[in-house]
Amino acid sequence: MSNITNLLHSIPVDPLTGAIAVPIYQTSTFVQDAPGVNKGYDYARTNNPTRETLEKIVAGLEAGSTGIAFSSGLAAIDAVLKLLQSGDEIIAVDDIYGGAFRLFDKVYKKFGINVTYVDTSDVQNILDAITPATKLIWLETPTNPTLKISDIGAIAKIAKAHHILFAVDNTFGTPVLQQPLGLGADIVIHSATKYLGGHSDLIAGLVITKDPALGADIKFYQNACGAILSPFDSFLLIRGIETVHLRVRQHCANAKEIALFLEQHPLVDKVFYPGLSSHPHHDIAKKQAKGFGGIVSFTLKNDTEAAAQQFVTATKYFKLAESLGGVKSLLCHPASMTHKSIPTEKRRAAGVADSLIRLSVGLEEPEDLLSDLAHAFHQIQSAAVAIFN
């Protein structure tokens, strides 16, 4: 696992001025002494010193050889998909991030790339889905919002044996808790918008590869297609990464307290948190990760959208919003927000019940978060009593 001292000191002091913070090179081009004779930079889409510093830092953070920074998580996913050709197939986790599903289904399908979605928490499902055309396995673990865990090491072995590229979207896991490249994956993707940025103030994406040649291929697409991260956002992301270890540790501690509170609450039906011993994949989570993350989902005994909507509008500190991983707590109701476009039966079958609520547990004092939730439960209980009477 990446060491915090190494991380902080992998962020270089500016050789020109001694600035301890990474300078923002807000420039589009670089003056050349003669054609092709330059100081390592010629045009800022191809390379920019601020972005380059970020890319080196994240390569180290994920224990890879190459980091490549994009203007969003989806742009990062898009660059990986460009490794494929028409006729190739992908096997993807069925509980996939909605934006990745849309990219696969509405953009890449028409170019002849087909995706088979399977429950990757049982590796047999992956083995059963492999065909001679399978070129990529696409994993998220934990998934969103039901926090299913898949065995990265076991899937890496299958991918290797069948000469299939293996990519892990490590947005929820974070490199602080799990490092897929060390477990045998070829590619790690991040929506750095979430925990790595950490302050809900930027949109950014990352790809990190273990193999330098694969990294060079993706770097080629970064330049050829152009979805680069700006110098200012690169700076912001470096600033976020400087505290990611501390933040994630506290996110995990707060989330654990909340999961335990929810588990014993009389109005709660199910709690989804990989850190609970009741979680079906708790053992794998414990084996492959150093902690269980900051996302907790739960369902209500009164499994209705109405009850959930009442709950998500009754909290004070948990703000109602999509996204996750910031310092302030957020909550959302997937059935009427992120998962609204999925047909009801399909959504329910995937474990996203009508009343499921997802919490992104922030860095407030845990007692304040607990009393915020207790208050919201009280509100929905009083409303239920009022209807009953």
Ligand X SMILES: *Cc1c(COP(=O)(O)O)cnc(C)c1O
Catalytic residues: 45, 97, 169, 194
Name the minimum Å distance from CB 197 to ligand X.
9
Contact status: 225 vs ligand X (CB under 6 A): no
Residue 161 CB coordination number (10 Å)? 10
Question: Which pair of tokens denotes residue 46?
Answer: 């191809």
Q: What is the rounded distance in angstroms from the CA atom of residue 59 to the CA atom of residue 159?
A: 22
Residue nearest to ligand X (CB): 73
Residue 21 CB coordination number (10 Å)? 12
| Residue placing its CB nearer to ligand X in the complex, 72 or 315 | 72
Contact status: 171 vs ligand X (CB under 6 A): yes
Contact status: 217 vs ligand X (CB under 6 A): no
Nearest in space to 145 (alpha carbons), one of 121, 178, 172: 172
Phi, psi of 369 (to 5 degrees): -65, -40
Contact status: 291 vs ligand X (CB under 6 A): no
Q: Which stretch binds ligand X (CB under 6 A): 50-58, 71-79, 211-219, 304-312?
A: 71-79
Q: Which residue has the tokens 């709950």?
A: 311
Q: Could you give the string, one character per residue 1-20, with x where binding to ligand X holds by CB under 6 A and - elsewhere?
A: --------------------
Q: What angle do CA 339, 237, 72 make, to 5 degrees?
A: 40
Q: Could you give the string, one character per residue 326-365, with x where binding to ligand X holds by CB under 6 A and - elsewhere?
A: ----------------------------------------
| Residue placing its CB nearer to ligand X in the complex, 98 or 182 | 98
Nearest in space to 339 (alpha carbons), one of 49, 141, 101: 101
Question: Which pair of tokens denotes residue 226?
Answer: 């152009």
Contact status: 200 vs ligand X (CB under 6 A): no
Span between the terminal Cα atoms of the chain, in Å:
57
Question: Which pair of tokens denotes residue 332?
Answer: 């959302």
Rounded to the nearest 10 degrees, what angle do helices 366-388 and 305-312 cross at? 140
| Residue placing its CB nearer to ligand X in the complex, 48 or 144 | 144
Q: Could you give the string, one character per residue 82-111, with x where binding to ligand X holds by CB under 6 A and - elsewhere?
A: ---------------x-xx-----------
Contact status: 150 vs ligand X (CB under 6 A): no
Candidates 140, 186, 217, 354: give the one binding ligand X (CB under 6 A): 140
Question: Which pair of tokens denotes residue 134?
Answer: 């399978």
Q: What is the rounded distance in angstroms from the CA atom of residue 275 to the CA atom of residue 196?
A: 21
Total residues at interface with ligand X (CB under 6 A): 16
Candidates 4, 127, 129, 203: give the one binding ligand X (CB under 6 A): 203
8 A C-beta contact, residue 139 and residue 126 = no
Phi, psi of 227 (to 5 degrees): -85, 60
Candidates 88, 169, 186, 217: give the one binding ligand X (CB under 6 A): 169
| Residue placing its CB nearer to ligand X in the complex, 89 or 140 | 140
Q: Which stretch binds ligand X (CB under 6 A): 102-110, 116-124, 189-197, 336-344?
A: 189-197
Tell me the C-alpha to C-alpha distance, in Å, between residue 352 and each of 125, 240, 291, 306, 309.
21, 31, 24, 15, 15
Contact status: 141 vs ligand X (CB under 6 A): no
Contact set with ligand X (CB under 6 A): 72-74, 97, 99-100, 140, 144, 169, 171-172, 191, 193-194, 203, 205
